[in-house]
A = this chain, B = another copy of it.
Amino acid sequence: MSDRDDLIARLADLGARSATVTALFQQKAAASYGLGVTDMKALDVLMRGGPQTAGQLATALSLTSGAVTGVVDRLVKHGLATREADAGDRRRVLVAADLAAIAAGPNVYQGISDAFRTLHASLSTEQLAFLVGYTEQSIALTEQQIDALS
């Protein structure tokens, strides 16, 4: 009993520390590109989701359209993304990540990506499957709590 409770309490504490450390990493990673955290997040959205309009970017980042204009300005200035008019709807602006330029950059995620891959490689398939399920649940749970706060 006390054993389990102890583990659960420790896990709660570790979760909070993990969140803090993760935030700090993102900040440092962005800084080594000369960008802010939001800009980095935008780049990530563009790389995952492909070219998108400024409006899509705004909803993905929970920003106003004005803020997105600034984000895209900075990314374009750094040569990490391109902005071009949409042929179909000329009000729209399509923003695309410049994958070649990003690959030529400091590549800050390589190190952490490799480190986690070797950590995961040392785990059993059962443990990996458990982690996937657990992480999915914790994400869903956190999303619910975000909605509860809104």
Write the residues of chain A forming the contact surface with B, with a CB cutoff of 8 angstroms.
Answer: 3-4, 7-8, 10-12, 14-26, 28-29, 31-32, 41, 44, 62, 108, 111-113, 115-117, 119-121, 123, 125, 127-132, 134-139, 141-146, 148-150
Given contacts A18-B139, A22-B22, contact A11 B128 (CB under 8 A): yes
B131 A116 Cβ-Cβ under 8 A: no
For the complex, give the distance between the alpha carbons of A49 and B16 in Å: 14
For the complex, give the distance between the alpha carbons of A32 and B22 in Å: 22
A32 B139 Cβ-Cβ under 8 A: no
B7 A113 Cβ-Cβ under 8 A: no
How far, in Å, is A30 (CB) from chain B's closest CB? 10
A sample of 12 more A-B contacts (CB under 8 A), given A115-B144, A116-B141, A119-B138, is A7-B125, A10-B132, A11-B128, A12-B117, A12-B120, A14-B132, A14-B135, A15-B116, A16-B44, A22-B23, A25-B145, A119-B137
Given contacts A14-B136, A26-B23, A137-B119, contact A7 B144 (CB under 8 A): no
For the complex, give the distance between the alpha carbons of A40 and B140 in Å: 23
B139 A115 Cβ-Cβ under 8 A: no
For the complex, give the distance between the alpha carbons of A19 and B25 in Å: 10
9 contacts between A and B (CB under 8 A): A8-B120, A12-B113, A14-B135, A15-B135, A18-B135, A24-B62, A24-B146, A29-B149, A131-B134
